[in-house]
């Protein structure tokens, strides 16, 4: 079964530091997404990415966030200057069609101290 | 503001019963709707997708979509204790807050 791979599984960073969360989507998928889930809360949409550009972003996805597909396999989320409230589980997802549902990775737990 | 609303529950049903989960969405332009299941500490896993009005059945699960009412539902027949999880409705790409379902043996 193809899967979405996220690394690292857990990252601890100091407030104000930059972090890059990495994802390898399923190889033939064209649509990519980042979500976050603060402990005990809902899954929040951050951004969708298609054809090498952002297709949609939420109000959460401000100038502190950026996404990149640096090569044919990786998809990254960068947070420039982390805040305590950025502590959450970050999920990457991918899909071969916008209609058929997304496959989620197992997530990266980000802890900002 | 594009919103997806779900009854937060919790919903408790006995084993073998039908569980009914409901969802409304605000974005009239939304085309695709998904139901996911999320076990505690795990990532969401897709149960069903639906994009046409009406019912769609897959095993014990039936999704229903009514675009005029902006309403999506999920029925789980013959509920099992292993179905106990949080069920997330999505109006792509946004998710609702989830409904926690407990199936009691």
Is B46 touching A (CB cutoff 8 A)? Answer: yes
Q: Give the pLDDT band of residue A33 (cuts 50, 70, 90).
A: very high
The alpha carbon of residue B75 is apart from the nearest alpha carbon of chain A, in Å, by 18
Q: What is the pLDDT of residue B101?
A: 97
Residue A1 has pLDDT above 90, yes or no: no
The alpha carbon of residue B59 is apart from the nearest alpha carbon of chain A, in Å, by 18
Q: What is the pLDDT of residue A99?
A: 81
CB pairs under 8 A between A and B: 48
Interval A35-50: pLDDT, tens: 999 999 999 999 999 9
Percent of chain A residues topping a pLDDT of 70: 100
Interval A64-81: pLDDT, tens: 999 999 887 899 999 999
B contact residues 60-79, partner A, Cβ 8 Å cutoff: none
Q: Give the pLDDT band of residue A23 (cuts 50, 70, 90).
A: very high
From A38-47, B2-11, B51-60, B84-93, the region with the lowest mean pLDDT: B2-11
Burial (CB < 10 A; 0-12, 13-18, 19+), residue B71, is middle
A interface with B, Cβ–Cβ < 8 A, is 33, 35, 41-45, 48, 56, 58, 91, 98-107
- Which chain B residues are within 8 Å of A43, Cβ to Cβ? 38, 44, 88, 95, 98
Q: What is the pLDDT of residue B100?
A: 96
3-class SS letters over chain B: CCCEEECCCCEEEECCCCEEEEEEECCCCCCCEEEEEECCCCCCEEEEEECCCEEEEECCEEEEEECCCCEEEEEECCCCHHHCEEEEEEECCEECCCEEEEEEC
What does the mean pLDDT of chain A come to? 95
Percent of chain B residues topping a pLDDT of 70: 100
- Measured in residues, chain B has a length of 105
């Amino acid at each position: 079964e193809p899967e979405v791979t996220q690394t690292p599984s857990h990252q601890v960073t100091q407030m104000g530091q930059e972090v890059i969360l990495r994802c390898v989507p399923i190889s033939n998928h064209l649509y990519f997404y980042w979500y976050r889930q603060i402990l005990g809360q809902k899954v929040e949409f951050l951004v969708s990415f298609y054809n090498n550009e952002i297709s949609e972003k939420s109000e959460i996805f401000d100038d502190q966030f950026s996404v990149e597909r640096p090569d044919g396999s990786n998809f990254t989320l960068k947070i420039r200057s982390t805040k305590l409230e950025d502590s959450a589980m970050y999920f990457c997802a991918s899909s071969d069609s916008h209609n058929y549902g997304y496959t989620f990775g197992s997530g990266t737990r980000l802890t900002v101290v | 503001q594009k919103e997806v609303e779900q009854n937060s529950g919790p919903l408790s049903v006995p084993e073998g019963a039908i569980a009914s989960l409901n969802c409304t969405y605000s974005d009239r332009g939304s085309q695709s709707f998904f139901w996911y299941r999320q076990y505690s500490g795990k990532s969401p896993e897709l149960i069903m997708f639906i994009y046409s009005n009406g019912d769609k059945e897959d095993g014990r699960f039936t999704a229903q979509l009514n675009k005029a009412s902006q309403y999506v539902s999920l029925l789980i027949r013959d509920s099992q204790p292993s179905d106990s999880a949080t069920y997330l409705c999505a109006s792509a790409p946004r998710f609702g807050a989830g409904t926690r379902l407990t199936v009691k043996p």
